[in-house]
Amino acid sequence: MNEMVNEYMESYKQDLDKIFDKLQDEFATIRVGRANPKLVEKIMVEYYGSRVPLSQASNITVAEARMLVVSPWDASLIKGIKSAIDEANLGVSCSDDGQKIRINFPQLTEERRVQYAKDAKKILENFKITMRNARRDVLDIFKEMKKEAEISEDEYNTLDKSVQKHLDEVIAKADQLCDKKVAEIMEV
């Protein structure tokens, strides 16, 4: 195999790893009954004339199993942060003491848990599509190389199997991650 083929394969593997990392980040934002800073850190808030994620305008800590504490770097942001959290429609209640905002996460209902589990499976399906698109893109490159006689038919078949094998491995990891997340969501 030539150097270009190795570069394309390595790039493909890195793309799948990046997609898997994004999937992990997405799953971290799904509520499971306990407080997690990732649930609110991407909420956009007004900060000195521009919109930034909450994590860039404050410190977010877990105070208790179902409570986050948001400590803005500027107390004048409290009102804006509270309204941004309310607009995010997370099903939480907020209170503030003029310095910090406490976000209380109520116990999830069975109906809500089922909905979050469905959401997790939907997210997984979308990421699988993205992974399959990455596979298609690299195989298209290899088909073109075969057509231009840069690689042989046998080399192409070997590459095809290798690309599929790596995809299958990453999808299996993603399925396990999703199953674990769904079990976490459904846990009472």
Classified by CATH at the fold level, domain 37-104 comes out as Gyrase A; domain 2 (3.30.1360)
What is the C-alpha to C-alpha distance for residues 123 and 126, in angstroms, rounded to an integer?
A: 5
Give the model's pLDDT for residue 49: 82
Mean pLDDT of the chain: 89
The separation between CA 82 and the C-alpha centre of its own chain, rounded to angstroms, equals 24
State pLDDT tens for residues 47-104.
888 888 988 889 999 988 888 999 998 888 888 888 888 888 777 888 888 889 999 8
CATH superfamily of the domain spanning 3-29+109-186: Ribosome-recycling factor (1.10.132.20)
In CATH terms, are 3-29+109-186 and 37-104 the same topology?
no
What is the C-alpha to C-alpha distance for residues 121 and 110, in angstroms, rounded to an integer?
A: 17
Q: Which amino acid is at 167?
A: L
What is the C-alpha to C-alpha distance for residues 22 and 76, in angstroms, rounded to an integer?
A: 33
Between 48 and 117, residue with greater pLDDT = 117
Residue ranges per structural domain of the chain: 3-29+109-186, 37-104
The separation between CA 21 and the C-alpha centre of its own chain, rounded to angstroms, equals 7
Q: Is the pLDDT of residue 1 over 70?
A: no
What is the C-alpha to C-alpha distance for residues 188 and 184, in angstroms, rounded to an integer?
A: 9
The count of C-alpha atoms lying within 13 angstroms of the C-alpha of 68, restricted to the half-sphere facing its C-beta, is 28
